[in-house]
């Protein structure tokens, strides 16, 4: 029962997350998997290490594959090189049963995760603020503002007044 509720909550978080929040969540999950791999090495749990490290590699590959190279320009190219380096280093975790490469990758990805967390928080805060402002500024339609249909019965057609946009220019 509790496991089902937790899964439902996780799905809801992903489905309602902003793009920035989703990227943050990918970094958070990657760092979590790297920690799991290091813990598995300490326990001498080969299968656990392999599973966690493979999951981290898949998440990093996903981050790399979703880069927009056209719009991202030099930043996207640098991130692609960083992700490729991380993937190469993580091969040594399984090959040598060594936690050091996982530590290195975690140190490289942590500042990116933190930046995305700040961006996601800022984005969500700005979105909430914009919604509140829009709701406060929304005019209530008055009966005198209703647009009348053109008079087609008399043969003279009047042009209806343009609809109000709901935006206010006054301060």
In the chain, beta strands by DSSP E: none
Give the CA distances from residue 80 to residues 60, 67, 76, 119, 126, in Å, rounded to whole numbers and listed in that order.
Answer: 10, 8, 6, 20, 29
Using CA atoms, how far apart are residues 49 and 39, in angstroms rounded to an integer?
8
Q: How far is CA 50 from CA 2, 26, 82, 98, in A?
A: 28, 19, 22, 12
Stronger pLDDT, 166 or 159, i.e. the higher one? 159
**pLDDT at position 9 over 60:** no
Q: How far is CA 31 from CA 26, 88, 124, 168, in A?
A: 9, 16, 23, 46
Write the pLDDT tens digit of every residue in 28-69.
Answer: 999 999 999 999 999 999 999 999 999 999 999 999 999 999
DSSP secondary structure letter of residue 164: P
Which tokens hold the place of 78? Answer: 């640098």
CB-CB contact of 37 with 53 (8 Å): yes
Instruction: Sketch the domain layout of the chain as residue ranges.
Output: 19-135
| In CATH, 19-135 is 2.40.170.20 | no
Q: What is the pTM of this model?
A: 0.68
- Per-residue pLDDT tens for 72-87? 999 999 999 999 999 9
Spatial separation of the C-alpha atoms in residues 99 and 107, rounded to whole Å: 12
């Amino acid at each position: 029962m509790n496991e089902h509720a937790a899964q439902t909550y996780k799905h809801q978080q992903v489905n309602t997350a902003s793009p920035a929040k989703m990227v943050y969540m990918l970094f958070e999950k990657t760092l979590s998997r790297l920690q799991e791999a290091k813990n598995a090495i300490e326990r001498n749990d080969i299968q656990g290490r392999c599973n966690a490290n493979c999951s981290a590699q898949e998440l990093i590959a996903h981050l790399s594959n979703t880069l927009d190279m056209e719009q991202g320009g030099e930043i996207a190219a640098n991130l692609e090189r960083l992700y490729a380096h991380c993937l190469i280093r993580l091969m040594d975790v399984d090959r040598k049963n060594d936690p050091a490469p996982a530590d290195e990758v975690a140190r490289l990805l942590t500042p990116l995760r933190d930046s995305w967390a700040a961006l996601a928080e800022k984005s969500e805060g700005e979105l909430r603020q914009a919604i509140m402002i829009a709701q406060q500024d929304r005019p209530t339609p008055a009966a005198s503002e209703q647009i009348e249909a053109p008079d087609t019965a008399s043969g003279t057609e009047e042009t209806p007044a343009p609809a109000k946009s709901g935006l206010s220019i006054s301060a």
